[in-house]
Amino acid sequence: MTVMKKNQIKTVKGFNEILPPESFRWRRVEDQFRNLLEGYGFAELRLALLEPTELFTRSIGGETDIVEKEMYTFLDRSERSLTLRPEGTASVVRAFNQYSLGKISEINKLYYVGPMFRYERPQKGRYRQFYQLGAEVFGEASFYQDAETLVMLAQFFRILEIDGVVLEINSLGCEACRPSFREQLKSFLIEREASLCADCRRRLRENPLRALDCKNPTCREAVVAAPQINESLCADCQEHFSSLCGLLDDVGLDYQINSRLVRGLDYYTRTTFEFLAGELGVQNAVAAGGRYDRLVEELGGKATPAFGFAIGFERLMMLAGDKLPLSSPVIALIPLAEEALRLLFPLYVQLNRQAKVATLGFQHKSLKSQLKKADRDGVGYALIVGPDEMAKGAAICRNMQTKEQTEIGFDSLEEALKKLYHQ
Ligand code: HAM
């Protein structure tokens, strides 16, 4: 644990920061995410972190944990209510409408990477500032889109060599079939009102679905025999869901149907899903999302079907982190005298100009200490030049793994280094 001096300033509680060398791993995973999504035709959106509060109350829903208890909301200097975004979907929809993206292209596939803010109780895998890798597709109502996204996510986990992630899916129906299910569920819950937690009791009349996903043990118990939404789906929703399941079967993507999967945000219609990993403990959802065919219109745009997901970056790294190698400088240039430093500096500049990663210390540290640092940085080779090497006109090249050392004449340094970078 780091010891803080009294007058030092710390981050806000639960705000997660990523330091080296972990930040190298994050970059690699982020690059892999970008490559994968761009391969599937997605393009990046970089959006505002701060939004009018109304954007979230209208999209996520007034009777959800996020809006009721978890938003960082404040008045700015002109008394406008602003909120640090608790998730990305609402902002992407806001941008989709604001920039009329639907007019530019019939299908829009957009992704984002960045921090989200929720005032939750910090614990393992749960932070108040956390990061998401997310994506949203607009303009495609077909179940093929749902399947494509799920397959792509599963592929991402495979690329990162993450095993043991289970996909759960459900359908929440649409405006045609959900109202009658809500009524059924409401009557069922009213009979058991006394065993529900205060939140579920309060939300019971306006938003009974929340009880299905409440973590409170007495609520869980109370909803065991509750009506199941997938038994109330209209023919179109039923068809959409069974076609999706059929496609997932065709491509061999395993899934479990979980009829309690209602998600903590109100905008979903039809498909919802979560990728769960037991290894994560209590906060076991590594990615989640679904279809939200009404939200674009509800936020003032033209009716447009949409489907998306977000991956929790911290949770993803808990599953993938240690398996990923750090990206390290290939070569450490190690001078043992001022004249050696003078000789190596132009080489160092040249290597870095060619985007070949190298390090060079300016502080005249001992050989031992410079080699120790190179080891810590995970460097492949050390190029050592001391007074003896200056006199000889040849540097020592040390393979940091095998400890094998060879001599390279100064006049053939450039050629020799080229080979090392290509190994
Ligand atoms: P969500 O389920 O609220 O969905 O969050 C998605 C993922 O973000 C979670 O599965 C989890 O991995 C991660 N996450 C959520 N809260 C925290 C936290 N406090 N600390 C660390 N990680 C967290 C959404 O945000 C939707 N916008 C997903 C979506 C996109 N639906 C459609 N499009």
CATH of the domain at 355: 3.40.50.800
Q: What is the reported pLDDT for 3?
A: 65
Q: Where a domain ends, among 305, 323, 341?
A: 323
Do 108 and 149 lie in a common domain?
Answer: yes
Do 272 and 305 lie in a common domain?
Answer: yes
The amino acid occupying position 212 is L
The amino acid occupying position 317 is M
Nearest to 348 by CA among 337, 362, 338: 362
Q: Do 136 and 37 contact (CB within 8 A), yes or no?
A: no
Q: Where a domain ends, among 303, 323, 343?
A: 323
Q: Which residues of the chain have pLDDT under 70?
A: 1-4, 322, 324-329, 422-423
Q: Is 313 a pocket residue for ligand 1 (Cβ < 6 Å)?
A: no
Q: Is 312 a pocket residue for ligand 1 (Cβ < 6 Å)?
A: yes
Do 285 and 399 lie in a common domain?
Answer: no
Structural domain count of the chain: 2
Query: What's the rounded Cα separation, in Å, for the pair 120 and 106?
Result: 38
Do 146 and 56 lie in a common domain?
Answer: yes
Q: Domain containing 50: what range?
A: 22-177+233-323
- Report the predicted TM-score, pTM, of the whole model to 2 decimal places: 0.89
In a domain, 383, yes or no: yes
Query: What's the rounded Cα separation, in Å, for the pair 306 and 41?
Result: 16
Q: Residue 309 Cα, ligand 1 centroid: separation in angstroms?
A: 8
Q: Residue 79 Cα, ligand 1 centroid: separation in angstroms?
A: 29
Do 255 and 372 lie in a common domain?
Answer: no
Alpha-carbon dihedral sign for residues 94, 83, 285, 298:
negative
Query: What's the rounded Cα separation, in Å, for the pair 368 and 382?
Result: 12
In a domain, 264, yes or no: yes
Q: Are strands 306-312 and 285-291 parallel, antiparallel or unpaired?
A: antiparallel
Q: Do 197 and 203 contact (CB within 8 A), yes or no?
A: no
Do 351 and 417 lie in a common domain?
Answer: yes
In a domain, 146, yes or no: yes
Q: What is the reported pLDDT for 273?
A: 98
Q: What is the reported pLDDT for 417?
A: 85
Q: What is the reported pLDDT for 1?
A: 54
DSSP class per residue in 279-321 = GGTTS-EEEEEEE-SSHHHHTTS----EEEEEEEHHHHHHHHG
Residue 43 CA: distances (Å) to CA of 40, 230, 254, 291, 365 = 9, 34, 28, 19, 47
Q: What is the reported pLDDT for 327?
A: 61
Q: How far apart are the first and last CA of the chain?
A: 39
Q: Where a domain ends, among 304, 323, 342?
A: 323
Do 248 and 138 lie in a common domain?
Answer: yes
Q: Residue 101 Cα, ligand 1 centroid: separation in angstroms?
A: 24
Nearest to 303 by CA among 53, 96, 56, 160: 96
